[in-house]
Amino acid sequence: MFCNKLRYIVWFAGAVCLCGCAYQKEYNTVSKQGTIEEKYEFAVKAYEKQDYKKSVALFEELLPLFRGKDVLESLLYNLAYSYFYDKDYFMAAYYFRTLARQFPEGEHTEEVTYMSAYCKTLESPDYKLDQTATYEAIKQMQLYINYYPDGLHTDEAGRLIVEMRAKLATKAFHVAGMYYRRSLYNAAAISYNNFLKDYPESPDREQAMFLLLKSRYLYAKNSVRRLQSERFRKVVDTYDLFLRSYSSSRYKDEADKYVKDARSRI
């Protein structure tokens, strides 16, 4: 029994190896000597076999030759997904967007509009890095929602926008904190103020408002005497706003000390 199983395994492994060799040989022949039709057929075959590097290579080669032809929409669709499944999200987004623009009434327009935006969310890096891709992802997701308010992916697009905004808020909050830790209190105050205006939904809002107050207090305290009065008035104004928003804040006792000192210096 064991020998029979072993023979079967060896036979199966050999068959797989032969098929793989035959497939590679076919690709080499088609890519070098095949007609346009043969290359397209093999590209589709490679795509269906999830061999995306080969499908990308052949679809890219054929793309200039299919301009204006009926099959172009299908070619672009397969090419975009080939890049997507190969995790090249930049190129996938480019071809999804190209497909949406060239075929605005096409069969896959809504799908590829969403996929273009979705690829940008996958490009979005950690909050500590440059967030250009994140801004672009939000922009494209919002465009999808605008075009397809009742679309198949509208709820998911909204969820992803919230997720991307949370990442931007985290970055903005940490940038403000970086200025604060370096004792650049005016820059910190400006950054915290911008954070509060741009991300009112952030769970860090209470802490940011307190740190805005504290940054303005320290900035005023370290200013030349002739500018202190005006800057301490800003501290008082910030305190009033803070108290209206968070009357029972865990930072209230410390905030009270800053505003008391600020009022005594005006």
Over residues 154-212, the pLDDT tens digits come to 999 999 999 999 999 999 999 999 999 999 999 999 999 999 999 999 999 999 999 99
pLDDT at residue 20 in the model: 53
Statement: residue 4 has pLDDT above 70: no
Statement: residue 26 has pLDDT above 90: no
Radius of gyration of the chain (CA): 30
Q: What is the mean pLDDT of residues 4-12?
A: 41
Statement: residue 224 has pLDDT above 70: yes
CB-CB neighbours of 151 under 10 Å:
16
Which of 59-73, 90-104, 138-152, 156-170 has the lowest average pLDDT? 59-73
Q: What is the 3-state secondary structure (H, E, C) of the chain?
A: CHHHHHHHHHHHHHHHHHHHHHHHHHHHHHHHHCCHHHHHHHHHHHHHCCCHHHHHHHHHHHHHHHCCCCCHHHHHHHHHHHHHHCCCHHHHHHHHHHHHHHCCCCCCHHHHHHHHHHHHHHHCCCCCCCCHHHHHHHHHHHHHHHHCCCCCCHHHHHHHHHHHHHHHHHHHHHHHHHHHHCCCHHHHHHHHHHHHHHCCCCCCHHHHHHHHHHHHHHHHHCCCHHHHHHHHHHHHHHHHHHHHHCCCCCCHHHHHHHHHHHHHHC
How distant is the alpha carbon of residue 203 from its chain centre? 20
User: Which amino acid makes up residue 224?
Assistant: V
